[in-house]
Amino acid sequence: MGKVICFGEIMLRLAPEGYLRFEQADKFGAVYGGGEANVAVSLENYGIDAALVTKVPDNPIGQAAVNEMRRYGVDTKYMVRGGERLGIYFCEKGASQRPSKVVYDRAHSSISTAAKSDFNWAEIFAGAEWFHFTGITPALGDNVAEIILEACQAAKKAGLTISCDLNFRKNLWTSEKAGQVMSQFMPYVDVCIANEEDAEKVFGIKAAETDITGGKLSHDGYKTVAQELKERFNFTAVAITLRESLSASDNNWAAMLYKDGEYYFSKKYPVHIVDRVGGGDSFGGGLIYSLLENYSNADALEFAVAASCLKHSIEGDHNHVSVKEVQTLAAGDGSGRVQR
């Protein structure tokens, strides 16, 4: 099976201990992560060869990020060295009715100053089968968006399947800008991944009879969203995660898949959240894996949702689970009983 190529920023995540607020913290725990990096780690955990393509500073912090990827078996051959700094984000965990907060410190990061000449896509895609990126990466600058467009064109020429997680971030760009930029890439994308509000924020496609803040999501409304996305951009598949936010601590978690003219809805998991960062990325990693492994459409969706359900119980950005663990949950064993 060919390799999966992921392109995007890897960042340093700094977080107060437990549920302390930023103002209370006198120390911060450090981990590394990022949308595409998280997908690459998931795929390696499932036995799929994955590479992260990015740019990091040529200093010990950049090397630490490279080492993080190597630790999980991710190919780092195309992680370019250069630029001034590694992007940072601060994450404060929410609880009950207090939401989590993220503060970015990523201006002038190495990847945001990357140039087309940093990446030889013909070489990178040789022997690869799949290319994945998210809507976070082009939000870092017009130069990065141009790199992604070139990558999509090269990937399509090389015959790769292309997936994109829309991943709208209001702290990085406006909905208007996101729609303009992301529309350039969509003709090349085969598998579109989104959460319950991305389609509205990026492309103005809103689910009817849905109240996201109130935790009310309409299945029929999201069928229409998926159909409109497919008709507008001719995607092969559209996957949408459906998070019912009861509080910062408790969510209901499910998803839908629109593929081959059929709609599939997963089972719904009540999730008590340990760490929700990377939840969508773990869904994307699970979906890419299950589609590469030729699961049926329904089983592919159930695998992806079960994988992301488990991620909500794991500290840090990455999803540290095995195929067997995901399959066990997908098959119905969500008891959480001690395994001896």
What is the tens place of the pLDDT at every residue in 86-116?
Answer: 999 999 999 999 999 999 999 999 999 999 9
Average of per-residue pLDDT across 309-333: 95
* pLDDT grade for 76, boundaries at 50, 70 and 90: very high
pLDDT of residue 270: 95
| pLDDT single digits (tens) 118-175 | 999 999 999 999 999 999 999 999 999 999 999 999 999 999 999 999 999 998 999 9
pLDDT of residue 303: 98
What structural domains does the chain harbor?
3-330 (3.40.1190.20)
pTM: predicted TM-score of the whole model, two decimal places: 0.95
Indicate if the pLDDT at residue 75 is higher than 70.
yes
pLDDT of residue 1: 62
What are the tokens at 258? Answer: 């629109």
What is the SS3 assignment for 84-125? CCCCEEEEECCECCECCEEEEECCCCCHHHCCHHHCCHHHHC
pLDDT of residue 217: 76
Indicate if the pLDDT at residue 16 is higher than 90.
yes
Indicate if the pLDDT at residue 218 is higher than 80.
no
Cβ count within 10 A of residue 254: 22
Provide CB contacts within 8 A for 38, sequence distance 6+.
Answer: 278, 281, 282, 285, 317, 318, 319
Average pLDDT, the chain: 94
* pLDDT grade for 338, boundaries at 50, 70 and 90: low
pLDDT of residue 210: 65
| pLDDT single digits (tens) 41-62 | 999 999 999 999 999 999 999 9
User: By the 8 A CB rule, do 178 and 168 touch?
Assistant: yes
* pLDDT grade for 272, boundaries at 50, 70 and 90: very high
What CA–CA distance (Å, rounded) separates 133 from 30?
24
Indicate if the pLDDT at residue 197 is higher than 90.
no
Please return the burial class of 2, using the count of CB atoms within 10 Å of its CB with bins 0-12, 13-18 and 19+: middle
pLDDT of residue 280: 93
Residue with structure tokens 């992560």? 33
Count Cα neighbours of 115 within 13 Å in the Cβ-side half-sphere: 4
pLDDT of residue 333: 77
What CA–CA distance (Å, rounded) separates 277 from 312?
8
* pLDDT grade for 337, boundaries at 50, 70 and 90: low
What CA–CA distance (Å, rounded) separates 147 from 116?
5
* pLDDT grade for 214, boundaries at 50, 70 and 90: low
